[in-house]
């Protein structure tokens, strides 16, 4: 199943970013530390090409430290890019990004040339929480649903530091199938755009490969080796109150439990992708997308052929 979600207001966001960029000195992209590759928007990279970039891996407290370090090294190796990890609700690390932005644009600063920073990210990645932490008060709306912020906001973090917040924006077309599942599992995609059972099954299949013991401990299972992913989901529901009349398992509820346990950190610190894995998925997705475009163009050329 290919998951796609690009509400109408995201087109407006794309236009607003393009219009704002000529006046921007640094672009902050807020990422989910559990899925840094999937939460990095290739459309944003295209729009902001040439601008100094700060990649901020939020929710590091929910991610595996060694994989967070690998992702920071990956991003820091990119030209004109710096990366850091933080928990958006903690003040001291959050304020470190102000210094990082100043380092990326050393010729900006002071009242004559204030530093102008654009902050972007996928929906529900924690931008509003981060901004509220930086400001020290409730400057923006927050919530656990993607799409809370709908309009651009300007926040003055210092007399010479202007931060422009934008609504969350996903890829117009998610070309990496696993990224669709990861984004849905993290809460970056609206609930009406995916089947929770499919997402839960994909999530369990991935997590059991490296952290089977955590699932065993969480759901008090004897062993996972003999269970298929479908059986694991059913057993999860049976153990966590997902039984219906007659002893049948409510798989919808079981899926919700699995996804919520991942989001809340009940499985421990989990990162769903390494840089190497994501780059492989990305290459495969690009090849599939190129093939899809070629077939579409061939159909288009066939329709234009003059009739005999």
pLDDT tens digits, residue range 19-70?
A: 889 999 999 999 999 999 999 988 888 888 889 999 999 999 999 999 999 9
Measured N-to-C along each axis, helices 91-104 and 127-135 cross at an angle, to the nearest 10 degrees, of 90
Does residue 204 or residue 6 have the better pLDDT? 204
H or E element: which one contains 291? helix 275-304
pLDDT at 5: 59
Protein fold of 9-165? Rossmann fold (3.40.50)
pLDDT for 146 equals 44
Least Cα distance to 21 among 97, 119, 110 occurs for: 119
Predicted pLDDT of residue 111: 85
Are 160 and 110 spatial neighbours (Cβ–Cβ below 8 Å)? yes
Of 57, 35, 10, 58, nearest to 190 by C-alpha is 10
Token pair, residue 83, equals 């990366």
Domain residues of the chain, as ranges?
9-165, 195-264
Q: Is the pLDDT of residue 285 over 80?
A: yes
Structure confidence at residue 148 as a pLDDT band (50, 70, 90): very low
pLDDT-derived band of residue 217, with 50, 70 and 90 as boundaries? very high
56-78 as b/e, with b when 16 or more CB fall inside 10 Å?
A: bbbbbebbbeebbeebbebbeee
Distance separating alpha carbons of residues 282 and 207, to the nearest angstrom: 20
| Residue 137 confidence (pLDDT) above 60 | no
Supply the pTM of this predicted model: 0.87
The CATH code belonging to domain 195-264 is 1.10.1580.10
């Amino acid at each position: 199943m290919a998951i796609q979600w690009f509400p109408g207001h995201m087109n407006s966001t794309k236009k607003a970013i393009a219009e704002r960029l000529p006046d921007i000195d640094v672009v902050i992209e807020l990422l989910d530390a559990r899925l840094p590759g999937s939460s990095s928007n290739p459309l944003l990279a295209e729009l902001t090409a040439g601008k100094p970039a700060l990649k901020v891996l939020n929710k590091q407290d929910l991610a595996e430290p060694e994989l967070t370090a690998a992702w920071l090294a990956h991003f820091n190796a990119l030209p004109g890019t710096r990366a850091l990890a933080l928990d958006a609700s903690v003040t001291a690390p959050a304020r470190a990004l102000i210094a990082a932005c100043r380092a990326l644009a050393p010729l900006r600063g002071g009242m004559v040339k204030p530093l102008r920073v654009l902050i972007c990210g996928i929906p529900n990645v924690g931008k509003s929480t981060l901004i509220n932490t930086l400001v020290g008060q409730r400057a923006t709306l927050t919530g656990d649903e993607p799409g809370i912020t709908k309009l651009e906001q300007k926040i003055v973090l210092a007399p010479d530091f202007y931060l422009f917040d934008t609504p969350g924006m996903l890829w117009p077309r998610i070309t990496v199938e696993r990224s669709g599942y990861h984004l849905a599992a993290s809460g970056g995609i609206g609930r009406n755009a995916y089947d929770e059972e499919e997402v839960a099954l994909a999530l369990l299949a991935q997590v059991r490969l490296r952290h089977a013991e955590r699932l065993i401990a969480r759901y008090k299972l004897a062993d996972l080796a003999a269970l298929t992913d479908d059986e694991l989901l059913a057993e999860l529901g049976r153990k966590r109150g997902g039984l219906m009349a007659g002893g049948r398992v409510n798989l919808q509820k079981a899926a919700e439990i699995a996804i919520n346990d991942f989001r809340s950190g009940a499985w421990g610190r989990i990162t769903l992708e390494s840089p190497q894995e994501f780059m492989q998925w990305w290459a495969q997705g690009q090849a599939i997308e190129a093939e899809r475009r070629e077939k579409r163009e061939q159909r288009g050329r066939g329709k234009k052929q003059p009739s005999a």
